[in-house]
Amino acid sequence: MKDFIPIYNSIPDGFFKTCSKYGDSPAFRYKIENGKKETLTYKETYTRVNALAKAFDIYGVKYGTHVAIFSENRIEWFLSDMALLSLGAVDVPRGNDSSFDDLSYIVEHSEPFAIIVENTMMYNKIKPLLSKSEFVLVLDSSISDEDNNVHAFSRFILKGENALNGDTNFIKERSKLVNTRSIATIIYTSGTTGCPKGVVLTHGNILHNTETVPKYINLVAGDKLVSILPIWHAYERTISYGVLLVGGFTCFSTKKDFKNDLVEEKPDVLGSVPAIWVNIHKSVMKEISKKSFLAKNMAMFVLNKSIEYTRHRRYKNDMVYLLGDETKEDYKKDYKSSIMGFVCHKLAKKLVYNKIVNLLGGRMRLTVSGGSALPMYIEDFIEACGINLVVAWGITEASPAISFRSAENNYRGTCGIPLDHIEIEVRDEDGNKCEDGKMGLCWVKGPNIFEEYYKDPKLTSKVKVDGFFNTGDLGAYTKQGEIVLTGRVKETIVLLTGENVEPQPIENKILESKTIENVVLVGQDKPTIGALIVLDEEEVKNYCIQHKIDFANKKLSELADIIKLVKTEVARLISQKTGFKPYESISKISIIDKITIENELLTQSLKVKRNEVFNRYKEVIENMYNN
């Protein structure tokens, strides 16, 4: 395996060279106050970053200085990030949805010299913490109190511009101190378990991903990206840097504007998470459920036959992954189809799939899904739609991508092959390397692996051994050299019988039910598996109306008919007939409230915080097994 030799000396070095090469090309588009959109060229972006870096310099930001950024996606976030990196400063980012406790921990732990907040809401949210920094910068310029070291972004950048006195090279000169070994950022993991950990990433760590990933998606100058995922998160940040360094065009969007922006901007590429595709699938299913009995059954017949045809085509093209001693013939019955499948597929494309493609802008060449596992039924649906979806597997500690499933070798259900310069070893419980096809713990080595957990050498030495990093993910190599993941070690449920249960495949299957929005399996040290279920309230209400169930002024989760419906759905999906072992069946069910970012049970990358759920519903879980 060849050593990775980066093209650029630092992230800003790549930015400067891109600006020089594509100066008049559009770099960013974003909404301004009146709802209109503004576009910045690379030349204009460079000018703003140069002025902003000077302003930070005036107020004491130097090489190695920590600066916290608490904001969602916006152009000022990028400008601030690039200005800080150019000075050799270390940014410490997090989103607005983070709890006060998490933000307080991050400020106390990282000790930032300055704190950047997006708006008045965020300023007020962390006001008790602001005195711990030398100054505060408000990105939307809604607050200005310079006597108390609170600066509006618009005035702050203007001060930098005036102080430059026409010096267009200030930022380039200052950035000469920065190299691949310089620390770029400390990203505190959202943490599905325990306190957030400060992941220290260098410019070299990040450059590996941003210079390597673009070739897997054929990213070229002029390609347009609609940015919707949290930009502070390692996944979206790497995609954004990758688009930037090839001379691409990034359009910042919001949850509110996302649908309109997709149609209006017509992106070439999109960074996505499974939740986006699950919601699209559910929307289609909901529209079908509103039709008459005959129309609904006809639509489902057509879609099911189309999916059957899609899977058959995958089988015929030798795109079914194989583990261990498996052969293609072992899967023949699972991938069969008929001429009816072909006819239904053409019909579904005309009536359903084309509409979905057009809602995505109609020009999207490829989307990269990451953050968490993509259920196979969603893989089938997206492939049937004709959407070119690939998958990246990663973790913040790996900057973040480890493996990539390319469009050319798109083995559905896998996470692709290791990225260039990266080695993945699958090891058993004793630390021995597993044979291909055998499941084990994934250890990773490469130039993308983080330096350390900030202020935690003990934990760092525990997960980094002999150059390899323990990802905590369970996986295996296929015969084609792809990685397949089944879950995380910390999520494995060990029953009283000694059986180990991986919750992820079971949860993914349960989510095929249109009446279930989310599910968390429980059962550690219990005799059987249980499930905490979140209802899809809209779908359940439709079910009540169709079946004349009175739900007015009643709690859906307490209706006997709904409890019966959920149990029936779970039993239908999780059984030996659907490929699950007897001990994986669900014997206990409780319906719980929503799992969201706002109630702190979901990370910003939309992963369930299992420990938080277990703690919050501890009494519910105990009652499940006592009744």
Average pLDDT on 27-55 reads 96
> Sorting pLDDT into bands at 50, 70 and 90, what band is 445?
very high
- Pull the structure tokens for residue 479: 């015969």
Name the H helices within 290-338: 293-316
How much of the chain is in helix, strand and coil states, percent to nearest 5? 45, 20, 35
Task: Say how far residue 555 (Cα) sits from the centre of its chain.
Answer: 33
At residue 190, φ and ψ (nearest 5 deg) are -60, -30
CATH match for 275-442+473-489 among 1.20.900.10, 2.30.40.10, 2.30.38.10, 3.40.1160.10: 2.30.38.10
For residue 3, the model assigns a pLDDT of 86
For residue 190, the model assigns a pLDDT of 65
CB atoms within 10 A of CB 498: 7
The Cα–Cα gap between 554 and 268 comes to 46
Give the N- to C-terminal CA distance of the chain in Å, as an integer.
Answer: 57
Average pLDDT on 238-255 reads 95
For residue 186, the model assigns a pLDDT of 98
CATH fold match for the domains 11-178+217-269 and 275-442+473-489? no
Average pLDDT on 188-206 reads 83
Convert the pLDDT of each residue in 338-365 to its tens digit.
999 999 999 999 999 999 999 999 999 9
Total-model pTM = 0.87
Average pLDDT, the chain: 93
Taken as a whole, the chain contains a residue count of 627
Three-state secondary-structure class, residue 400: coil
The Cα–Cα gap between 29 and 41 comes to 9
Average pLDDT on 293-307 reads 95
For residue 194, the model assigns a pLDDT of 60
Convert the pLDDT of each residue in 524-548 to its tens digit.
888 899 999 999 999 999 899 989 9
CB atoms within 10 A of CB 60: 11
Percent of the chain with pLDDT over 90: 77
**Interacting residues of 207 by C-beta distance below 8 A, sequence separation 6+:** 6, 7, 8, 10, 11, 14, 180
Name the H helices within 400-516: 457-463, 503-510
Annotated domain spans of the chain: 11-178+217-269, 275-442+473-489, 492-626
The Cα–Cα gap between 126 and 166 comes to 37
C-alpha distances in Å from residue 58, one per residue of 54, 83, 85, 154, 530: 6, 13, 16, 16, 58
Residue 192 above 70 pLDDT? no
For residue 250, the model assigns a pLDDT of 97
CATH match for 11-178+217-269 among 3.50.50.60, 3.40.50.12780, 3.30.70.20, 2.40.30.10: 3.40.50.12780
Determine contact, residues 162/55, Cβ cutoff 8 Å: no
The Cα–Cα gap between 102 and 490 comes to 21
Residue 392 above 80 pLDDT? yes
For residue 191, the model assigns a pLDDT of 53
For residue 22, the model assigns a pLDDT of 98
Name beta bridge partners: 13: none
For residue 469, the model assigns a pLDDT of 97
The Cα–Cα gap between 154 and 144 comes to 10
CATH match for 492-626 among 2.60.40.1220, 3.40.50.970, 3.30.300.30, 3.90.420.10: 3.30.300.30
Burial of 372 (0-12, 13-18, 19+ CB in 10 A): middle
> Sorting pLDDT into bands at 50, 70 and 90, what band is 253?
very high
Determine contact, residues 240/227, Cβ cutoff 8 Å: yes
> Sorting pLDDT into bands at 50, 70 and 90, what band is 66?
very high
